[in-house]
Structure formats: structure tokens, C-alpha cells
Amino acid sequence: MAITTPTPETIDATAARPTPEQIDDVAKRYNEAKLDKVSATLAFETIEEEAIRLVSSFGIVPPNAEKSRRLSGRLAELTVTKSDQIFIQDDRVNDLRDALSSVGRLDFFKKLFTLRSKWETVTDAETALREDSLPKRLAEKILNLYGRCIDVKAKSPSLKVVMADPSKPAKTRRAKKSTGGVN
């Protein structure tokens, strides 16, 4: 992949009108750079997919990072993190609010959603669904309506590559000191 750099013949906006040859040269360099960009993008995507496959197949789950996998080489550390994106179905949230309101349980609705510019789930909504005592029939209806309010979409995995500087000493991980607990 050769990246074309501007030549001394680069046309300056303050220069005299360009010659047809100069115009052709700019167009040729533009098309070459465009092809190089496409080629580089394809190469990048191919290598990124390969790295994600390697980490997904052979990586380990780092401590306190359940949605990540990590694979380490001598100089590089590859980390793939997967996450989900939650989309709230506003009209279905309104159905749930109306259902709870009709049975006098609007207080319970506030444990599930809060209104910003649009509905967002409350941090402990799933806990409220599991732990709060609602009559069985109402609980089933509310759980069903709540489930319709939310769409979970998987996001594409992200890749982070950290390269070590071979001229610097390697970092060593120290074991955490015990806080004095009894084993």
C-alpha cells in the first residue's frame, strides 16, 4: 500500500490557473489515494476481525470484566469487550404505566422507569420485578408488559490493542495485600 504524498507540483489555490496536465495529475493522485484508503480499510477490517476471533477463542476473562476477554503476547495485549444497547419502547412503557395506574400501583411503576426526555429504565428495575410482592396475576401481566417495553440489541465487539515499548521494562503485577481477614 503506497500512500501518495503531495508532490512539488501540488496546485496552490493562489497559483495561476492549472494546466490540464496538473488537473489530470491531481485527479490521478486523488484516485490512487482513494484506492489506497479503500485497500487500507479492507486490510484493517480483516486484521481487526482476525484479532477479535483470536481473543474470543483463546482469551481469558479479566477480573471484574465479565463482558471482556483478553489475550496477551510479549509486547501486545488485545482486549475484546462486548456490550448491549437497550432501547426503550415508549408506547409500551406507557401501557405498563397505565396498567399499574389502573390498579392503584403507580408507586411500583416508578421503581421501573423514570421520565427524562424519554423513558429510561431505573437502575434496579429487575430487582424490583423479582423482589416486590404483587398479586400473582398482576405480577405476570406486569412482567409481560415490562418485557415488551425493552429491546436489547447486541453491539459489535470493540477491540483495544495496547503495545508495550520494548525499550522499557515490563510491568509486573503485584499480588494484592491481604486486609487481615481470616482464611
125-137 tens-digit pLDDT: 888 888 888 888 8
Q: For the residues of 7-35, what is the DSSP string, one character each?
A: PTTPPPTTSSPPPHHHHHHHHHHHHHHHH
Residues 6+ apart with CB under 8 A from 75: 163, 164, 166
Quickly tell me which residue has 403507580 as its cell.
106
**Model confidence pLDDT, tens digit, residues 32-77:** 998 999 999 999 999 999 999 999 999 999 998 888 999 999 889 9
